[in-house]
Structure 1
Amino acid sequence: MNKVKTLGIVDDDKIYTFLVKKTIEQTDLVETIKVFENGLDAIDFLKNNAANRDTLPEIILLDLSMPVMDGWEFLEEYILLSPKLDRKITIYIVSSSISPFDIAKAKSISFVTDFIIKPVSKEKFIEIFKKL
């Protein structure tokens, strides 16, 4: 199985992102992990690297509840930006929300691959990486 070259985590919870990075590093299936504390930082990164296929993440793990720009606002911007990106990015919403509304809304967005409820196990990350 090929390694994921770059993974993006968009989440403002520093403890969560620390634990997720450690868990993902244990899988040895991801070369580089980029963490963004809000959707705006992630969108700015994507805009600044739109033509650089090697820098763009292959997968984004997106939280919904964040300051500055939340996950829904990120998705609105991403949909507009995606035609300009040099790579198709697989997006998973990873949220502590169990709201049926959030899950249904996420599944209605074609750019979202799946909605995963936190916490996420090492086995679930392996499953995600193998699908790529």
Structure 2
Amino acid sequence: MKVDTVCIIDDDPICVYGTKILLNHNNFVSANILVYEDGEEALINLTSQLLNRQRMPDIILLDLNMPIMNGWEFLDKFQKLTFTNKPQVFIVSSHFDKKAIEKGRSYELVRDFISKPLIAKNLNDIISMSKIAV
């Protein structure tokens, strides 16, 4: 599987900027990178892509703590959509507790948890977990 699109859903511009740099310096340079500042914006745009029969992102890097619609609310609504290709969601957050990890594992789309700040090793882990060719 080749990564065509990576979606970053995060309201922190510094984290988004750092993630984009990491993606571009770790063989994701050919991937299209979508960025949304909150879950609602992401849900509206990704739902629109589905309705227009466009392919979903291969990977979604999802922050939990965002205004308007947080990561959990996004997942609750996003998982109800019907996909041709199911994206792999990686929850990216600065802290996890046991309850959050248990809750995240209840979502079929959630592949794993990654602690902020994102580092190159995290991207390598995503590649190996997802069996993705970049």
The list of structure 1 runs, each at least 4 consecutive aligned residues, that deviate by more than 4 angstroms after superposition, is none
How many angstroms does 1:46 deviate by? Answer: 1.2
The structure 2 residue matched to 1:129, chosen from 113, 127, 130, is 127
Query: Does 22-31 or 6-15 show the bigger shift?
Result: 22-31
Give identity over the alignment, percent.
Answer: 38
Give the structure 1 partner of residue 99 of structure 2: 101
Deviation, 1:29, is 2.5
Counterpart check, 1:91 vs 2:93: no
Q: Quick check: 2:114–2:122 contact (8 Å CA) kept in 1?
A: no
Task: Name 1:117's counterpart in structure 2.
Answer: 115
- Unaligned 5+ segments in structure 1 are none
- 2:79–2:107 CA contact under 8 A, matched in 1: no
1:28-84 alpha-carbon deviations (Å, 9 max, x no partner): 22511111000011111111110112xx21110000000010000000111111x1x
Per-residue CA deviations over 1:87-129 (Å, capped at 9, x if unaligned) read: 2111111111222211121122222111111122112112212
Structure 2 residue ranges without an equivalent (≥5): none
Q: How far apart in 2 are the matches of 1:108 and 1:80?
A: 13
The reply to whether residue 52 of structure 1 matches residue 54 of structure 2 is yes
**AA matched with 2:15:** Y
Alignment partner, residue 76 of structure 1: 76
1:44 & 1:12 partners in 2: Cα distance? 16
Kindly state the Cα deviation for residue 3 of structure 1 after the two structures are TM-superposed: 4.2
- Contact preservation (8 Å) 2:11, 2:66: yes
Q: TM-score, with normalisation over the residues of structure 2?
A: 0.87
Q: TM-score, normalised by structure 1?
A: 0.89
SS at match of 2:79: helix
Q: Which residue of 1 aligns with 2:18?
A: 19
Paired residues in the alignment total: 127
Q: Which amino acid aligns with 1:66?
A: M
